[in-house]
Structure formats: structure tokens, C-alpha cells
Amino acid sequence: MPTIFILFGFRFMFYANDHEPIHVHVIKGDAHAKFTIDPVELVHNDGMKQSEIKLVESIIEENQEVIAEHWNKFFNKTK
């Protein structure tokens, strides 16, 4: 489970066997959510509060390129 970064207690990561489209899993405590990054959309939420979802969405928007770079590097993809 490669971790991209941890910010405000949220762990932004993906799984080694993940699939396209590029997306990110976000974990904090027992809560977990999944977001696509282009466009930034919530795919699944298991326990995150609406305020946390909004914060995570803004973090993803600010870091779309970083997330995509990590994804492409790990999965050996080119743009």
C-alpha cells in the first residue's frame, strides 16, 4: 500500500493492485474514502464526516499532479 503523503492525519495512498482511472484512497482512523482525481469526485465513503470529505477534496485538488506522478511512477505509466 504505497503512501503518497499524510496530511492533517489523513493518509493518502493507493493499493499495489489498483486499477484506472487514477484514484486515491484516504484513511483516517477507522474511516476510509476513495476519490477519483480528474475530476475530483468521491467514489466511496465509509465513515468520514462531510467536513472531512470537503477538506480531503480540497487537498486532492491542490495535489492532483503529485498524486498522478506517484501513480504513474508506481505503475510505470507515461502521460
DSSP state of 3: E
Q: Tens of pLDDT along the chain (79 residues)?
A: 899 999 999 999 999 999 999 999 999 999 999 999 999 999 999 999 999 999 999 999 999 999 999 999 999 876 5
- pLDDT number for residue 78: 63
Mapped to the 3 state alphabet, what secondary structure does 5-66 carry? Answer: EEECCEEEECCCCCCCCCEEEEEECCEEEEEEECCEEEEEEECCCHHHHHHHHHHHHHCHHH
pTM comes to 0.93
- Please compute, for residue 42, the number of CA atoms within 13 A of its CA located in the half-sphere on the CB side: 16
